[in-house]
Structure 1
Amino acid sequence: MGLRIYLTSELSGNNAELYSRIQELETWKNNLTQQIQDMTTNWNELNVSRAQWSIDSYCLGNTESNVKNLNKLNQELETKKNNLTQQKLNMETNWNELNISQAQWSIDSYCLGNTDDKCQPCQFGWFLSQPSCYAINDPPSPGWKTWEEAREECKGKNSDLAVAQEITEEADYVNAPEGPADKKATRPEDTKKEAAGTVDTKASPPVTSELSEDNAKQTAEILNLTSRIQELETRENLTVSCDNLTQAYTVSESNVKDLNAEIKTLTTQKDGLTKQIQEMETNWNELNVSRAQWSINEYCKQGEGMFRNH
């Protein structure tokens, strides 16, 4: 009887200890399960944050690169604008110097060296046959030109190649004070290499090509500037689909707006320079016409072959 009680008591103690151990193990299992779930959640969040970091780094890098490119192009446009402004100033200076030099040329060519104190209607080396001035070119045979070549040479001197329409008119040319001229090359139907013939011009100063060359350079610069502005405008669309870069986008958009404003300003200045060049070319053409008319009115009486005193 005593043995049974002892065994029962011993088994009850072991069962209580096992039950306690089972509860501890169950608690540890639950804790480990929770830790595994937490670690899985953290792992997923880490993957998401890494992906977002990659997107942020890529988008921000592209935005900064685009802003740098825009700044570089803007600096180039500023340089072009400054060059255009300087060329405009140089053109105005050349314009003023040209007016002075042409006025002096008119005096030297038509007035100086005359013993009768009169200004002549034709420059030195030319003779008057109303209503035009003529010069005769009679080179040796190696210097003969075709009709087209002779006319191009005359056009380069602000003149035109004279054509004798009648026999009497040709005789007048040949009997001019400066001597005879070979008239074969003055006829359009002549295709052989002949002398250049008589050159016809009005009593007005020749047009220099200096301003035309400057205008050509100016036009080339404007076309180049227009091309660069168009290239810059095609790069204005810098919208990047990255929602988490609000601060970076704000800075970039502000820079882009500033650059767009500068582009509009440069475009307006370019248009203004283009308009000024066109006005100067128009004034230049009108000035040539008015100078030619002034020379005729100043040195010749209407309908008479007389000269006015200067």
Structure 2
Amino acid sequence: MPILQSIVHTIDKAGSDTPATLTPTTEAMSDSPTMSELLAGLNKAFHGKAKTWGRFTEGDDAGDFAPRLSSLMVGDQDFVTFSRELAERVKALVDDHLPLGGHLLIAHERQGDTEYLSLALLHQRQGFGLDDDQNVVTVNQLNLTQPSLAARINLTQWQEDSPSRQYLSFLRDRGGKKLADDFAALLGAQEGVDASSETRTLLKAFSDYVEQEDLSEEQSREKTDAVIDYASDQASRGEPITLDELSELVDEQQPKAFYEHIRQQDYGLSPEIPPDKRALNQFRRFTGRAGGVSISFDSHLLGSSVEYDAEQDRLIIKKVPTGLRDQLKKS
């Protein structure tokens, strides 16, 4: 993961009634193993948080962040100047919304064939260490897990004019809605898809497909594991789930079958879905077959639509599927 360019500007603010001040850095930092580890830790924390996914707004409401970024990418503006101007705008957000300042990290990195721009407003927290005489001392360290502001842009996807609606992602779970809205305005970002809703819809489509295909318990478990492993890996890397790739994993013999199921049933899913870790972690299928009875349901239904009475070893289904109910009425 080579870091092509990186810099840290400091935004100081002593309290809510004190104006923020910017202490800019005049030179970009050189790449180093320590900086690479720091950025890797930040990316890991960022990928695990609730985010808004989207793209740059076009037209009159676009703002000037994307044009400035475009100038940086073609070499018409240098990285230090670009970062300084961005830091000035972030300082205004700190003034309006935050009681304390922080350190604004801006990094341009490459992972494989893909380039990214990451930015995050990091704060310091107190930790403990040992001095040369093995005495315990307090040390300040950057808190990578709780940035007030953070965003990540897939530069390669953006420059390729990809039809994807989610090459840009930013945090929404820190500092309140107004801060998130103003940060989105600073970036000129518009929301593409709801990651949580799309992930849940995808998992429902998969559950429907498994039931439709009447798979064995072992097959169902294998396919579920494949789907969750793939989606979780994409989430950890900050990459979207691609329906074409997922369909091939679900059925190698019929690689388009699951994709066609999604299209025919009109779930309204995008070709690329930003994975939501929380929705993935909640998903698991319970399956079982014995004595001519086959049962399969999603784990999140346990306790609501489905109840298990451990004392009497009974499974109670509160909401009978419509098709099954019609069959029972006719029997």
Q: Which interval holds the TM-score relative to the shorter structure?
A: under 0.3
Q: Which has the larger radius of gyration?
A: 1
Higher relative contact order (Cα pairs below 8 Å, separated by 6+ residues) = 1
Q: How does the TM-score come out when normalised to structure 2?
A: 0.21
